[in-house]
């Protein structure tokens, strides 16, 4: 369908499923084992209900945000999804260009199909970029990468079994050619995820965090935190934030959704310092597809949310224009829902505006 018939982020997924080569669809859409966590990521949002306030003058709505000190037109950033060229010849550059035009922040994946330099060249002069890092066994390689904020992925000492992906034999393509460079011992018969992940260092541990702090002045965010215990360790280690994430359901299956974990984690962080803590951001990703999802996470204490597949499917279907449309859709949904909720700006989105009794607490 033409782009102007796309009404929401789910529509991009439906188009992507039809237009993508089967290998790409399998790699992008798959989640681990029985795919229970990926389903739960969506379901958790549906267990939270709004408590809208009436008779607020909502003539003007402002959903602009600040994420790790960077201005963002939306309280949403683009989360890292590997191998963009499997789905579109311009790969991650679709995201970079659209993000630059609309003031949205992109997190570049370690396993991007485009080189870091290509992405930086496609960015506007002062466009902020975040970087997702899979820590290599060879720590020296890590030092050569430089950006504003570093999101160290901590939920993938080994990549999960994505069986949909594994059933597709890995066939090298333009999208995968770059990341294979310098990676020896890559097995080509176990699906895309396995083929590209053999360099990840499973020995990464809390003791390594101080080392990262010595090699960079960037904010360090741990991506893939699920418990209050680890959230507090991250805070005490001097990290600047965490992402409550289960990697889009692609790692430990039957782990809880980030949204569900948010309540206990915020409660624990409140006991250890100011709240909201300007020096410690709490992000959530997984299953965010609607402006209303974003508002629920913010009401429960998230600083901002990450979207992975939503933007990935947008550029697979319509390139850069698809991503621009996705930003527009999310912005329009945020505006309408904030107006109906009685919140004029992000500061006015309060915990009392949601009934989260459908989410569990310990």
Give the CA distances from residue 306 to residues 80, 264, 313, 352, in Å, rounded to whole numbers and listed in that order: 9, 19, 15, 23
Q: Cβ distance 354 to 48 under 8 Å?
A: yes
The window from 3-11, 12-20, 180-188, 243-251 that contacts ligand FNR (CB under 6 A) reads: 243-251
Q: Cβ distance 257 to 246 under 8 Å?
A: yes
Q: Cβ distance 75 to 304 under 8 Å?
A: yes
Among 65, 72, 81, 113, binds ligand FNR (CB under 6 A): 81
Neighbour-count burial of 48, counting CB atoms closer than 10 A to its CB (0-12 exposed, 13-18 middle, 19+ buried):
buried
Closest CA to 112 of 28, 192, 175, 185: 175
Q: Cβ distance 129 to 123 under 8 Å?
A: yes
Nearer to ligand FNR (CB atom), residue 70 or residue 81: 81
91 binds ligand FNR (CB under 6 A): no
303 binds ligand FNR (CB under 6 A): no
Nearer to ligand FNR (CB atom), residue 149 or residue 343: 149
Q: How far apart, in whole angstroms, are the C-alpha atoms of residue 23 and residue 43? A: 27
User: Is there a catalytic annotation at residue 155?
Assistant: yes
Task: Provide the total of helices (H) and of strands (E) in the chain, helices listed first.
Answer: 14, 12
128 binds ligand FNR (CB under 6 A): no
CA–chain centroid gap for 138, Å, is 25
By CB under 6 A, the residues from 155 to 214 that bind ligand FNR are none
By CB under 6 A, the residues from 49 to 78 that bind ligand FNR are none
314 binds ligand FNR (CB under 6 A): no
Q: How far apart, in whole angstroms, are the C-alpha atoms of residue 90 and residue 110? A: 17
Nearer to ligand FNR (CB atom), residue 11 or residue 342: 11
Interface characters, 17-56, with ligand FNR (x: CB under 6 A): ----------xx------------x---------------
| Other Cβ atoms within 10 Å of 110 Cβ, number | 22
Nearer to ligand FNR (CB atom), residue 127 or residue 132: 132
Among 75, 91, 100, 109, binds ligand FNR (CB under 6 A): 109
Minimal distance, residue 345 CB to ligand FNR, in Å: 25
Closest CA to 261 of 293, 279, 283: 283
The window from 13-21, 177-185, 247-255, 329-337 that contacts ligand FNR (CB under 6 A) reads: 247-255
285 binds ligand FNR (CB under 6 A): yes
Q: Cβ distance 44 to 287 under 8 Å?
A: yes
- Which of 63, 134, 313, 318 is catalytic? The answer is 134
- Which of 11, 90, 155, 253 is catalytic? The answer is 155
288 binds ligand FNR (CB under 6 A): yes
* Element containing residue 238 per DSSP (H, E): none
Q: In the bound complex, which residue of the shown chain has the CB atom lying closest to ligand FNR? A: 308
Q: How far apart, in whole angstroms, are the C-alpha atoms of residue 201 and residue 141? A: 12
Which pairing describes strands 149-153 and 65-67: parallel, antiparallel, or unpaired?
A: unpaired
Among 20, 76, 111, 239, binds ligand FNR (CB under 6 A): 111
- Which of 28, 63, 247, 318 is catalytic? The answer is 247
* Element containing residue 165 per DSSP (H, E): helix 163-166
287 binds ligand FNR (CB under 6 A): yes
User: Is there a catalytic annotation at residue 247?
Assistant: yes
- DSSP structural state of residue 170: P
The window from 10-18, 207-215, 300-308, 329-337 that contacts ligand FNR (CB under 6 A) reads: 300-308
Tell me which residues touch ligand FNR (CB under 6 A): 27-28, 41, 79-82, 109, 111, 132, 153, 223, 245, 247-248, 250, 285-288, 306-310
Active-site positions read 134, 155, 247
């Amino acid at each position: 369908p033409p782009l102007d018939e796309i009404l929401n982020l789910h529509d991009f997924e439906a188009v992507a499923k039809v237009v993508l080569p089967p290998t790409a669809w399998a790699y992008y859409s798959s989640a681990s084992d029985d795919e229970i966590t990926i389903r739960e990521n969506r379901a958790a949002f549906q267990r939270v209900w709004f408590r809208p306030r009436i008779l607020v003058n909502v003539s003007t709505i402002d959903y602009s945000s600040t994420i790790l000190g960077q201005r963002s037109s939306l309280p949403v950033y683009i989360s890292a999804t590997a191998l963009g060229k499997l789905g579109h010849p311009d790969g991650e550059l679709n995201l970079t260009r659209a993000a630059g035009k609309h003031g949205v922040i992109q997190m570049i994946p370690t396993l991007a199909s485009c080189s870091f330099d290509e992405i930086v060249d496609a960015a506007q002069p002062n466009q902020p970029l975040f970087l997702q890092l899979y820590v290599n066994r060879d720590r020296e390689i890590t030092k050569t990468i430089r950006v504003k904020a570093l999101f160290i992925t901590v939920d993938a000492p080994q990549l999960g079994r994505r069986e949909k992906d594994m059933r597709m034999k890995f066939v090298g393509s333009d999208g995968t050619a770059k990341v294979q460079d310098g990676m020896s011992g890559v097995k080509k018969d176990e699906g895309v995820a396995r083929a590209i992940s053999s360099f990840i260092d499973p020995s990464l541990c809390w003791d390594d965090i101080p080392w990262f702090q010595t090699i960079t002045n960037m904010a360090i965010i741990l991506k893939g935190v699920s418990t209050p215990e680890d959230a507090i360790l991250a805070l005490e280690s001097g990290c600047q934030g965490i992402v409550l994430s289960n990697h889009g359901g692609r790692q430990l299956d039957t782990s809880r959704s980030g949204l569900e974990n948010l309540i206990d984690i915020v409660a624990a962080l409140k006991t250890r310092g100011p709240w909201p803590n300007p020096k410690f951001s709490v992000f959530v990703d997984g299953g965010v597809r609607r402006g209303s999802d974003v508002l629920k996470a913010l009401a429960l204490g998230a600083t901002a949310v990450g979207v992975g597949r939503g933007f990935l499917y947008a550029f697979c279907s319509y390139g850069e224009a698809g991503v621009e449309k996705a930003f527009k859709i999310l912005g329009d949904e945020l505006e309408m829902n904030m107006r109906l909720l009685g919140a004029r700006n992000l500061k006015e989105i309060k915990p009392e505006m949601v009934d989260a009794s459908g989410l569990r607490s310990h």
